[in-house]
Amino acid sequence: MSVARTYPFRAPARFTSALVTMLLFLTLAPVAAESGDSEAGFDPMDDPEGEVILRVEGAIEHANDGDRALLDRAMLDRLPQRELETSTVVTDGVNRFEGFLMRDLLEALGAEGAEVVATALNDYIVDIPMEDFHDYDVIVAHTQDGEALTPRDKGPLWIVYPRDDHAELDDIRYDYRWVWQLEHLEVR
């Protein structure tokens, strides 16, 4: 019978799989430890080394320049990165945005407040209720369709709502919170 014939091979098979598990553990454990380090990632107490593209002030607990947080792109890249596909009111079709959750940034800075005042390079300024960032996965995008956003083209940062995922976001009240050329946040 086949059972009798395969039986002798089972013990070695188990032994082999135990060995493989052990080897996998030995190879992957250091990798896990390493990625654990880089996941410590975003530290608002770090000093920016590159050009500061976002300044955050107001009701934040962690800062690196007096009571402000000055952030460069490399620091922002250390926040968990997110992709979001959505249409917008100012572009055609569906765009793929990459960036980080506003919620994650605010949390990392220890922000506590009822609203965030967002200011753009063109001095556009708007108050955004804090609830938005808890109710929706609002991202701060640095990349659109694989291309880095530049100040010429809605960059360096653009607040993007997951508009295609929530019918209620297709509304003028939300449209004006999509701040492009974002450069400053005040939490209050």
Question: What are the residues whose beta carbons fall under 8 Å from the beta carbon of 132, sequence distance 6 or more?
Answer: 138, 161, 174, 177
Nearer to ligand MTE, 56 or 108 (CB): 56
CB 142 within 8 A of CB 98: yes
Binding mask 31-50 for Mo ion (x = CB under 5 A): --------------------
Member of 6, 91, 122, 150 binding ligand MTE (CB under 6 A): 122
Member of 28, 87, 124, 127 binding ligand MTE (CB under 6 A): 124
Member of 97, 133, 136, 180 binding ligand MTE (CB under 6 A): 180
* Structure-block tokens of residue 55: 């300044």
* Structure-block tokens of residue 68: 């402000």
Residues 151-180 that bind Mo ion (CB under 5 A): 176
As to burial, measured by CB atoms within 10 angstroms (0-12 exposed, 13-18 middle, 19+ buried), residue 27 is exposed
Nearer to Mo ion, 15 or 176 (CB): 176
Q: Is 149 in the site for ligand MTE (CB under 6 A)?
A: no
